[in-house]
Structure 1
Amino acid sequence: MTDKLVLDRISHSYGDGDTQLKVLNQVNLQVQKGELVAVIGPSGSGKSTFLSIAGALLTPKEGQVIIEGESLSDYTAHQLEQLRLNQIGFIFQSANLIPYLKVEEQLLIMARLAGMDKRKAMGRAKDLLTRLGVEHRRKSYPHQLSGGERQRVAIARALMNDPAIIFADEPTASLDAARGHDVVSMLAHEVKSEGKAAVMVTHDERVLSLCDRVLRLESGILTEEASSTLHG
C-alpha cells in the first residue's frame, strides 16, 4: 500500500440531540508517500477538527483513520500515544518550541521520549538542522531566533523520530510572504526526500503552488480544487 494516510468516510459532530452541529460529513482522503496536500477553507469549516482526527488526537463519531495500512479504530489510549510519538509529526502555527530548551535540545527530547539511541539521536538532529539551514543556531534559545528559523526548527523536530506523516497547522501564519514560502518549500522538499506524507491546513494562498494537491473543506465536505483555479 502506497497510501500513508487514509480517512475513510469520516463524520463528526458536536453537541447532543437536536442541537448537534455536524462539522465533518463523510470525508474521504488518501495521501501517498512523498505527497504534500493542502487543506483550505473558511474559518469555522472544521479544519481544526479534521486535523485533530487525522492526527489521532480526536476519535471520529463515524468512519476510520488508517495510517501505514493500520486502522486506528481499536487502538487503546496508550497505543494512540505511541503512534503520535513515533508515526506522526506536528508543526504548529507559532512553532510551539519549549522556551527553556536550546534548538538542539528541542529535537533530542523527542528522541529521548521515543527511546532512540543517544548517539543516533545526536547524528539525526545535526543532519536535520544542517539540511534546514539552522545548524549554526543549535545552541540558541527560541527567543533568539527569527520567526522563519523557529518554523525550520519546528519542521526538524517534527521529522526527528522519522514519522510516516507530518501535519502542519497554519505554519506560515506568523511569517511574511518570503519566509512563509521558504518554510513550506523546505517542508515540501523534506517530505519528498524522506518519503513522508504531509497534510497542511492553511489560509495562505501564496504557498499553494508548492503543494501536490489542494483540497477545500467547506460545510463539512472535502473536495479537490481544480488545478486551473490554483495556478491562474
Structure 2
Amino acid sequence: MKDKLILENVNKIYGEGETAVTALQKVSLNVKEGEFVAVVGPSGSGKSTFLSIAGALLSPSSGRILINQKDITNLSSREMSAVRVKNLGFIFQASNLVPYLKVLDQLLLVSKLAGKGGKEAEQKAKALLEQVGLLQRMNYYPEKLSGGERQRVAIARAFMNDPGVILADEPTASLDSKRGRAVVELIASEVKQRGKAAVMVTHDERVLDLCDRIVTIKDGMLYEEQENHTFEAKKLDTVAFK
C-alpha cells in the first residue's frame, strides 16, 4: 500500500529567541491508503498545529510533508491552495456548510473551485449524497438538516474531488454519542472502500475502536502508536444518522 501522507521530522516554532514557542517537535507520521488514524491529546498539545501542517494550511519551520508522494514543504501559498483543492478533503467539527447553499450545491462548489463542473460533477455529487443517505435532502438548506445530516453532507463534500487524504477535526464534537459514532463509522467505511488515508483529531474515546491506529500528541511530540484493526468496511444503516 502506498503512503498517502508523510510527515518527516516536522518542527514548528513560533517566535524567536527567548520568546520562541515550540508547537511541534520532530513529528513523524506515515499514513497509508485505506488507513484511518486517530490523533489524541490534551488541549494545547499541538493537535491544531499538526492538523494545519498536514492540511497544507501552515508551513513547518523544518522537516518535510509529502501528500500523495509529492513534497509540498516549500510550495508557495498559491501552490499550497491548489494542493488542498486537489488532494485534501476536510471535515470540521461544525460541518462548516455554507448557509445559503443547498445540499447539492455544497458539493458542486468544491468542483467549481477545482475548475470542474457540468453534468459529470452533478452526477458524482448525487451519487455521493445517495451513498450517505441524503439524496432526498439535496435541495434542503443546512438549517433544515439535523446535526448528523449536516456532518454527512460534510463527509460527502470531503470526497467530492476524490482526494487522497481526508482530515477530520473533532467531527463528533457537536453530536450525541449515537450520531457521533455513526459519523465516524461512515468516514471509516469510505476510507476503506475508496483507498483513502484519513487522520482524525478527536477527544472522543468512544469512537477510537473504529480507527486502525491511535497516536498520542503531548507537548508537541507524537508517540505511543497503537494498532486496532477492528473496523471492517460495510454498508451502513443511515437511519442512525437522523
Q: What is the CA-CA distance between 1:15 and the residue it aligns to?
A: 2.2
Equivalence map 1:217-232=2 (5 Å)? 217-227=217-227
What residue is the counterpart of 2:99 in the other structure?
99
Q: What is the CA-CA distance between 1:21 and the residue it aligns to?
A: 1.3
What residue is the counterpart of 2:16 in the other structure?
16
What residue is the counterpart of 1:35 in the other structure?
35
Q: Given that residues 168 and 200 in structure 1 are in contact (C-alpha distance below 8 angstroms), is that contact kept between their aligned partners in structure 2?
A: yes
- Gapped regions of structure 1 (runs ≥ 5): none
Length-normalised TM-score, structure 1: 0.96
SS of the residue 1:84 aligns to: helix
Once residues 114 and 20 of structure 2 are traced to their aligned partners in structure 1, the CA distance between those partners, rounded to angstroms, is: 39
Q: What residue identity is the alignment partner of 2:122?
A: M
Q: What residue identity is the alignment partner of 2:9?
A: R
Q: What residue identity is the alignment partner of 2:11?
A: S
- Deviations along 1:117-167, one digit per CA (max 9) or x if unpaired, are 411111110111011111111000000000000000000011101111010
Length-normalised TM-score, structure 2: 0.92
Q: What is the CA-CA distance between 1:227 and the residue it aligns to?
A: 4.9
Once residues 166 and 65 of structure 2 are traced to their aligned partners in structure 1, the CA distance between those partners, rounded to angstroms, is: 15
Equivalence map 1:5-84=2 (5 Å)? 5-84=5-84
What residue is the counterpart of 1:139 in the other structure?
139
What residue is the counterpart of 1:128 in the other structure?
128
Q: What is the CA-CA distance between 1:14 and the residue it aligns to?
A: 1.5
Equivalence map 1:164-183=2 (5 Å)? 164-183=164-183
What residue is the counterpart of 1:198 in the other structure?
198
- Deviations along 1:15-59, one digit per CA (max 9) or x if unpaired, are 221011111110000000011100000000000000000000000
SS of the residue 2:107 aligns to: helix
Once residues 226 and 59 of structure 2 are traced to their aligned partners in structure 1, the CA distance between those partners, rounded to angstroms, is: 30
Q: Given that residues 172 and 183 in structure 2 are in contact (C-alpha distance below 8 angstroms), is that contact kept between their aligned partners in structure 1?
A: yes
- Sequence identity (%): 55
Tell which deviates more after alignment, 2-11 or 68-77.
Answer: 68-77
Paired residues, number = 229
What residue is the counterpart of 2:233 in the other structure?
none
Tell which deviates more after alignment, 7-16 or 144-153.
Answer: 7-16
SS of the residue 2:100 aligns to: coil
Q: Given that residues 112 and 118 in structure 1 are in contact (C-alpha distance below 8 angstroms), is that contact kept between their aligned partners in structure 2?
A: no
Q: Given that residues 164 and 196 in structure 1 are in contact (C-alpha distance below 8 angstroms), is that contact kept between their aligned partners in structure 2?
A: yes
SS of the residue 1:130 aligns to: helix
Once residues 49 and 185 of structure 1 are traced to their aligned partners in structure 2, the CA distance between those partners, rounded to angstroms, is: 25
Q: What residue identity is the alignment partner of 1:201?
A: V
Once residues 120 and 54 of structure 1 are traced to their aligned partners in structure 2, the CA distance between those partners, rounded to angstroms, is: 30
- Deviations along 1:43-91, one digit per CA (max 9) or x if unpaired, are 0000000000000000000101001111112322221111101100111
